[in-house]
Amino acid sequence: MNSRVELIGLAIVSVDDCIADARGAMPDGLRNEADWAHFQNELDRADLTLLGRIGHERHPNTKKRHRLIVSSAARGLELRPDGWWWDPATTSWDEVKDRLMPRGGRVAVPGGRRVFDLCLALGYAEFHLSRAERCLLPGGTKLFTACQMTPAEELLSGAGLKAGPRSWLDEAAGVSFCVWRS
């Protein structure tokens, strides 16, 4: 029996490590069909999707994926009609894993920033980093809070992840891709 729970980060970022513009919206410069297809495939492969409340509210769960929503409005770990809700300040990740994934599995982590930060501290097994090489988002929302001072790749490396080969997910659109693994 495999009881290992693997956190798999999934993000497309701008040249300056942003996941959203200064208004908190995902601009067209970060939208790419090849990245979207990869993202959806990884969500389909996951046993659980871990995301923040805002992302959950903005993106209806039309495929009825098993969701865990991070929110300080949750009472510990609670099941609601739209998924499991979790407040990390009151319930540990180990308790969540034991309850929701006793046999282990893959957890897709599509963000937002607070969730990316949380999982960086918990330890990613993989981080799938797409980069829109032609998109710059001054004043935007960074992938990780620490990206204000440190590039995303340095943070991933500092968390014990090693970069795989960098390739083009969509060369014509300037979208590169790299999987970082523990």
Length of the chain: 182
Are the C-beta atoms of 179 and 126 separated by less than 8 Å? yes
Domain coverage including residue 164: 5-181
pLDDT at res. 106: 98
pTM above 0.85, yes or no: yes
pLDDT at res. 62: 85
Instruction: Express each pLDDT in 12-41 by its tens digit.
Output: 999 999 999 999 999 999 999 999 999 999
Beta strands at 67-70 and 48-52: parallel, antiparallel or unpaired: parallel
Say how many domains are in the chain: 1
Mean pLDDT of 115-141: 97
pLDDT at res. 59: 86
Beta strands at 105-111 and 5-14: parallel, antiparallel or unpaired: parallel
Instruction: Record the tokens describing residue 10, joined without a space.
Output: 């999934």
> Is the pLDDT confidence value at 124 over 90?
yes
Instruction: Express each pLDDT in 58-99 by its tens digit.
Output: 888 889 999 999 999 999 999 999 999 999 999 999 999 999
Mean pLDDT, the chain, integer: 96
> Which residue from 98, 133, 88, 105 is spatially nearest to 8, judged by alpha carbons?
105
Give the Å distances, CA to CA, from 42 to 7, 29, 68, 78: 12, 21, 16, 25
pLDDT at res. 2: 54
Instruction: Express each pLDDT in 133-154 by its tens digit.
Output: 999 999 999 999 999 999 999 9
Q: Can you give the CATH number for the domain in which 151 is found?
A: 3.40.430.10
**DSSP-assigned letter for residue 34:** H
How confident is residue 3, by pLDDT bands cut at 50, 70 and 90?
A: confident
> Is the pLDDT confidence value at 1 over 50?
no
| Alpha-carbon gap, residue 60 to 64, rounded angstroms | 9
